[in-house]
Amino acid sequence: MRRRGDEETGRRRDGKSRQKPEDDPRHSHASNRAALPRVSAFPRLHISESPTLTHRPSKRLGQNFLNDGRIIDRIIQALDPRSDETIIEIGPGRGALTAQLVENSAAVVAIEFDRNLIAGLLERFGSNENFKLVQNDALVTDFCFEIKPAAQARVVANLPYNISTAILQRLIQQRSCLTEMILMLQREVVERITAPAGSTDRGYLSVVVEAYCETERLFDVAPGSFRPIPKVWSSVVRLKVRPRPAVSVKDEALLLQVVSAGFAQRRKTILNNLRSAPTELQELIKLHGGASIVLCQAEVDLRRRAETLTLEEWARITQAIE
């Protein structure tokens, strides 16, 4: 078996430099991806270094493989897996993180999209009763179903740059069975996730994550930690799922609609964006006197822009039209 520093784990990348990913849910690709069949449920084979896992990274999938043992160790240290819990790993790739998770005796549910990696993962880890491999797209996977009989799990993942925000939103949607996520994302995405009110990096995803998770930025990862080398830096972030949302609204879906509309055109004021909201939301706002009245009731200055609003102010706007 190779040393940890020689291990590699799969990760898809779009290979584009310094391009901010879209974080509006209207651009999610989930509806365009077909679910693939579940491959195995804790089969029994022998852990080994599989020749299958040496396959070349897929340009179509934008794959880059993490080959820096120090970064792998830091991710495992941040996760600190326990033998009495279930861990979901999204994109096990060549199995570097998977190996350490399995060795720590956690129940590992690995979600892998690339069918070319399946045989090698099964050959290497399939003999372990605590390993389950699911061949599926993370954008359509029912995580709460896959972890059964466990009721809760934590997540570790190297998310692909081009669909990372869509997968993160999918995880938040299924937060009822998730307690914590250790995620490697494009550094700019982490900057947006953790951006406070008033920051130019703040966007729709910032507000959504703040509403449902406590965030902690852990460390950055240089492009040289991957092969082939991507053109952007990555960051690892810890997201702890809140036991209840940070703000109280009757209709959480409405809150997300209001925030989405508010960030539709960043250069416009919150007033103008609400006036240009999708028809269904516009009609609801008109029933409560129009955008100006709603903002006044929420005690939000009509001239402000979306990135300056706090989560509490978004909640007040929503409460004014509930």
Question: Of the candidates 55, 92, 56, which has an alpha carbon nearest to the alpha carbon of residue 75?
Answer: 92
pLDDT given at position 274: 98
Mean pLDDT of the chain: 85
Right CATH number for 252-321 from 1.10.8.100, 3.40.1410.10, 3.40.50.10320, 1.20.58.2030? 1.10.8.100
- Percent residues over pLDDT 70 in the chain: 80
Give the CA distances from residue 276 to residues 207, 269, 282, 285, in Å, rounded to whole numbers and listed in that order: 20, 11, 7, 11
Q: How far apart are CA 262 and CA 315, in angstroms?
A: 12
User: How many residues are listed for the chain in this entry?
Assistant: 322
**What mean pLDDT do residues 48-72 have?**
65
pLDDT given at position 161: 80
Type of residue numbered 185: L
| Residue 283's pLDDT band (cuts 50, 70, 90) | very high
| Residue 61's pLDDT band (cuts 50, 70, 90) | low
DSSP string, 69-126: HHHHHHHHHHH---TTSEEEEE--TTSHHHHHHHHTT-EEEEEE--GGGHHHHHHHHT
Q: Please list, in sequence order, all residues whose beta carbon lies within 8 angstroms of the beta carbon of residue 64, skipping any fewer than 6 positions away.
A: 11, 12, 13, 57, 226, 227, 228, 229, 230
pLDDT value at 8 more than 90: no
Q: Which tens digit of pLDDT belongs to each residue from 115-142?
A: 999 999 999 999 999 999 999 999 999 9
Type of residue numbered 295: L
pLDDT value at 143 more than 60: yes
Q: Prior bond to 196 cis, omega within 30?
A: no
pLDDT value at 105 more than 90: no
pLDDT value at 262 more than 80: yes
Strands (E), 202-290: 213-221, 226-227, 234-241
pLDDT given at position 21: 42
Instruction: Give the sign of the dihedral formed by CA 130, CA 89, CA 68, CA 62.
Output: positive
pLDDT-wise least confident of 35-44, 50-59, 194-203, 311-320: 35-44
pLDDT value at 251 more than 80: yes
Q: What CATH homologous superfamily does 4-241 map to?
A: Vaccinia Virus protein VP39 (3.40.50.150)
Give the CA distances from residue 87 to residues 44, 110, 117, 203, 258, in Å, rounded to whole numbers and listed in that order: 19, 8, 20, 29, 34
C-alpha angle with apex 51: 50 to 57, nearest 5 degrees? Answer: 105
Q: Please list, in sequence order, all residues whose beta carbon lies within 8 angstroms of the beta carbon of residue 88, skipping any fewer than 6 positions away.
A: 109, 110, 111, 143, 146, 147, 153, 154, 155, 156, 157, 178
This prediction has a pTM of 0.82
| Residue 71's pLDDT band (cuts 50, 70, 90) | very high
3-class SS of residue 157: strand
pLDDT-wise least confident of 24-28, 67-71, 281-285: 24-28
200: left (phi over 0), alpha (psi -120 to 50) or beta: alpha
> Where along the chain do its domains lie?
4-241, 252-321
Q: Please list, in sequence order, all residues whose beta carbon lies within 8 angstroms of the beta carbon of residue 223, skipping any fewer than 6 positions away.
A: 229, 230, 231, 232, 233, 234
